[in-house]
Structure formats: structure tokens, C-alpha cells
Amino acid sequence: MGSRGEEKHMDYTISALAKLAGVTSRTLRYYDEISLLSPKCVSESGYRIYGGKEVDTLQQILFYREMGVSLEDIRKMMTAPTFKRLEALETHLAALLKKRGQINAMIATVQKTIASEKGETTMTDEEKFEGLKEKMIQENEEKFGEEARSLYGDESVDASNAKLKGMTQEQYKHMQSLSEEVNDTLKAALQTKDPAGELAQKACALHKQWLMCTWEKYSAKAHKGLAQMYVDDPRFTAYYEKIGPGCAEFLRDAINVFCGDAK
């Protein structure tokens, strides 16, 4: 039996590596096409052959994919002269530990809620409220985290999450009330078909107030970018379509007017 070191450096055909990593051969071919992961060599019979170095590279790629990083960003990072595999692994571990902490907090809250429903314990309003905020943060990360972090950066999203987590019940209720007021005003404005009109601009001002409940600082450019994402992302579009047909586009146009040519 070979040593673990020898096993690490054994060679794999594309199908064997795909099976080992839980991906498809088509995926590996695509990684080769975009210069993200090329085989060590091609055999005389035309088979792609991958060695230990390629296995390690694939592992790192899949780590990044699990974190929601785009293939283009992965390629840029891993081909950069400053890329260090150990540092990348440590960063990935820190992100996983942070995610585990969020999940553990949610598990604890759900367990308390179940016990409370069964009459086994009493859950305070404060505990219920903290759990609600944790749930909102976790759901936002799962649904929109990749897009938000790509658009605004990790620092801004983390700051927004921290601000939400630190909200008092009164601040949280105010944010929820603002959200309802935005939607009601937007619904009425939609009937005017005028994104530059008084009602539409009032909806934009309320929308800005609602954003500032969690944003650290306001940026017209970021506001416009978010409005465009409402149109580009079908999940957001579906939400606004419930207010009225074409609502996402209407809000985007209204916010562009609201923000003017501000950068």
C-alpha cells in the first residue's frame, strides 16, 4: 500500500477526478476552456490527465464556489502573483466558522421556540426578537448574499448585518412600518404612470429612509444600483410585481430621477 503522500500525487483521468470531486466532466472541461484549471497533460490517446497539483487547485476552486464567488473572480484571484493557497484556506475557514456561528444561533432559537410551543419553557419577547433578526440576516445571506456582496463588498454587507442585529424592537418596528409605507405609496404612484411625479418621488424618499435603517451611509450610486438589481434579479422583480405590473421598472426609473446624475 502506498503512503498518503503517494496517494496525494496519483494521477486521474477527467472522469475519475470528476467522480472524486463530485462534479461533472463537462464542468472540468469548462474550467479548462476558461483557463481556470488545465490538466497536467494529455495522454497519447487524448485523455486529460490531472495530478496532485490540479487536485489541490480544484479543491480551492470548489471552496470558493461554495462561498458564492464567481468563476471569473476565482480565476483572477488564483492567477494573481500574490495568491497564497494557505492564506486562502485560512480565509475560507474563517468564513465557514462565521457561517456556522450564524447557523448555531438560528438552531438555538428554533429549539427554544419549539420548547416554548410545547410548554416546556418560556421564551421571552427579547429572545423571540433576537431570533427574528438572526433569521432575517440568515435568509438575506442565503437568498441575496452573493449579489449584495458582489455589488457592495463584504465590508458594507457585514456592517449592514451588524446594524440590523443591533436594532432595538422599536427601531425594527419602525423599519417594518417604513417598508409598508414604501409599498403603499409605490402602489398609488404606479397608477399615475409618472416616475418623476410627486407620489413616485415620495416613495423614493421613503425607500431611502428604509434603506438607512440598515445602511451605514447613503450613496446615490448604490441606491441606483440596487434599483437596477430589482429589475435584473427575477426574485426582486417578483416581489415588486405583487404590488403591480411593471413595478420594479417603475421604481428603478423613479429612483434614477430621485438620484439625478449623482455618482
What's the helix, strand, coil split of the chain in %, to 5? Answer: 75, 5, 25
Q: DSSP assignment of 133-196, as one string?
A: HHHHHHHHHHHHHHHHHHHH-HHHHHHHHHHHHT--HHHHHHHHHHHHHHHHHHHHHHHHT-TT
Is the pLDDT score of 2 beyond 50? Answer: no
DSSP state of 38: -
pTM over 0.75: no
| More confident position, 86 or 250 | 250
Cα–Cα–Cα angle for 239, 242, 248, nearest 5°? 60
Residues 6+ apart with CB under 8 A from 184: none
Average pLDDT over residues 55-82: 84
93-109 pLDDT per residue, tens: 887 787 787 777 777 77
pLDDT of 167? 79
| More confident position, 128 or 213 | 213
Residue 202 contacts residue 219 (beta carbons within 8 Å): no
SS3 (DSSP) at 233: coil
- Rg over alpha carbons for the chain, rounded to the nearest Å, is 24
Distance CA 190, CA 186 (A): 6
Q: How confident is the model at residue 227 (pLDDT cuts 50, 70, 90)?
A: very high
Is the pLDDT score of 262 beyond 60? Answer: no
Residue ranges per domain, the chain? 4-78, 85-164, 168-259
Residue 40 contacts residue 5 (beta carbons within 8 Å): no
SS3 (DSSP) at 12: strand
| More confident position, 17 or 83 | 17
User: 168-259 sits in which CATH class?
Assistant: mainly alpha
Q: Which of 6, 103, 8 is nearest to 59 (CA)?
A: 8
Q: Which of 117, 118, 139 is nearest to 128 (CA)?
A: 117
SS3 (DSSP) at 213: coil
User: 4-78 sits in which CATH class?
Assistant: mainly alpha
pLDDT of 177? 93
162-206 pLDDT per residue, tens: 888 787 888 888 998 999 999 999 999 999 999 999 999 999 999
